[in-house]
Structure 1
């Protein structure tokens, strides 16, 4: 009897070991995506189109052979359509074709200073776009739908936690609200990402390790409601401000869902005082399949939940020497373009040059191949 029991125990142990090894192999080989840098294209800083200066490009999308880029000019909120040509070896050109000004429900151009455009996505002849508003001045952020002419169609209702608040310990940080949006993989809604934690959720990133959880929320297209919310943990600030400056930050600047519950997340750290632009930009491969829905939590502090998992996919420091003047600029947009002839996907990121208000910056486009 003892021999039989011992044999059974040994068999179970061996089975467990084999099972664990098999699971580890699957885990290691399940997602082996890689990004291969191909080329950079810089649109001249003085580029104009129909009496507008082309700049502040903080979001980009591609659909049906056309590219769209939103400008974060709060005085004249608008988006451009463009042709962008490239192949698997190099960039060809970036040509602006049209400009569309966002308009309110009575077809008037949105007044100056009301919005802070950040991200745009094309969806079935409409455009979903985000504004961070102006928290310091009490102007609310939003996620809106506009038609192909830029005219207001709908606005999604926000929970109070996303609105300006007089409570210093509750609500969003200034310039830390809806920085990124993506059409969901199943096309049933949109995922919208905060740039920074809500005040009641955690701290803004610093040079030291902090608890900086950011919410990414799902918006149901059919109901128009914010539904599931998941949590992404930010890195600490990459480097200290220098040359007498003190301003530093890190946050999510864009998201892109490429499979169900799988995202590319652009995370950008910035520090003042650097000749190379001061930006440290990374693309993370994010898995949200096991993340807890935290939409019922007004505050994350003291709650038990599972965050998304993140794996570094690409660090722009690796290609800094191959970019114009060694500058990784203020990259804020990311989208897939047309597939290459070999079947691999193309990926394009774009930098918001802030209209060079704080010194020379670049309208920088960077092209990648997504290798499997």
Structure 2
């Protein structure tokens, strides 16, 4: 029931490389890949030169695992040799999956779900329907599950960041600043479905970074097809859940022009810090009414080293500050023709994976298929390679 991955045959060029791989297998016990245990890619934060496509894998629509429908995969992480995925299904059980994901530098060998865990509320009970909207998941070295919910702003339910154990039990939660919470003033606070979308481990510390998908109402407007001022905040989160410094990133305009009645959005759906103040940002634009799904997804290299700390700015409008800089690294339009039915789906999750045999870092992404509620979509996994 699984779509088989495309195969890219790569011949070894000389005996020296073969010997090197054999020695790796003997001395590193790596059948396919070297183990990855942290977010560091190297000593030079500017060394990522490009990203290349390796392969795609699709889990068929409608597949079940332990009576749960596999879908809505909006976040992915790799920690201690184990893969984690979070589903944004707003109905019980609110859950994360574990998976077996095998690949080498030629492509995927297998992607399959091998475990599911319900995330419980503070009292150890199942969440009520439509009270949480899970989006991002990261796993600490000690196994703690860190996850975000966008809440339900239309119903006055605040977003949150929570810490759970491997059994899904509540441990603690971040103290969210008032500016990120629902506000009865229609001109202040987050917009519905535009809050804590992305989360990553902070490089060189035990903390995290969390990003807004869309601007706060008092900071700017949501992106349109025209150029707008659409700044989002990225906040540092300490290990104990305390918010710290914040910097600003400017969103691109919506890529595709649509009819006046169409739904459009562009926002940052996930982030990765790979060296101090150096990030990869996954930015996704979506417009309804297109047969290829209407998604345009890009990976930006982001430098926040000179960005202003805007934590104490209640509103960004009229303020003077320096934003993080961004440089396009990878546009998924360049590989659309190599993907199933030419579809770049609703890609929302990204994580660094193991080191490939050639020494380059792997990058694995996953798409949220929205449970195909708005038409056929894909549980799409994409394997990329970071080239230094």
- Whether 2:122 is the aligned partner of 1:89: answer no
TM-score, normalised relative to structure 2: 0.87
Provide the rounded CA distance (Å) in 2 between the counterparts of 1:30 and 1:67. 27
Native 8 Å contact 2:48 2:386 kept in 1: no
Paired residue for 1:340? 356
Provide the rounded CA distance (Å) in 1 between the counterparts of 2:206 and 2:48. 27
Paired residue for 1:37? 53
Q: Secondary structure at the match of 2:286?
A: strand
Native 8 Å contact 1:248 1:271 kept in 2: yes
Provide the rounded CA distance (Å) in 1 between the counterparts of 2:257 and 2:287. 6
Runs of 4+ in structure 1 deviating by more than 3 angstroms, as ranges, are: 29-32
Provide the rounded CA distance (Å) in 2 between the counterparts of 1:54 and 1:269. 24
Paired residue for 1:179? 197
Q: CA deviation at 1:187?
A: 3.0
Match of 2:265 among 249, 255, 258: 249
Native 8 Å contact 2:82 2:98 kept in 1: yes
Number of residue pairs the alignment of both structures matches: 342
Pick the structure with more helix per residue. Answer: 1
Q: Secondary structure at the match of 2:355?
A: coil
Match of 1:202 among 213, 220, 226: 220
Paired residue for 2:236? 218
Provide the rounded CA distance (Å) in 1 between the counterparts of 2:286 and 2:254. 7
Q: Secondary structure at the match of 1:318?
A: helix
Unaligned stretches of 5+ residues in structure 2: 1-44
- Whether 2:82 is the aligned partner of 1:75: answer no
For residues 199-246 of structure 1, the C-alpha deviation after alignment (integer angstroms, 9 at most, x for no partner) is 000010001000000000001114x3101000000000001225x742
Paired residue for 2:137? 120
Q: CA deviation at 1:188?
A: 2.3
Aligned counterparts, 1:12-31, within 5 A: 30-31=46-47
Provide the rounded CA distance (Å) in 2 between the counterparts of 1:272 and 1:265. 23
**Superposition CA RMSD, Å:** 1.1
Q: Secondary structure at the match of 1:312?
A: strand
Q: CA deviation at 1:331?
A: 0.3
Native 8 Å contact 1:157 1:226 kept in 2: yes
Native 8 Å contact 1:282 1:316 kept in 2: yes
- Whether 2:157 is the aligned partner of 1:139: answer yes
Provide the rounded CA distance (Å) in 2 between the counterparts of 1:245 and 1:64. 46
Unaligned stretches of 5+ residues in structure 1: 1-28
Provide the rounded CA distance (Å) in 2 between the counterparts of 1:205 and 1:264. 20
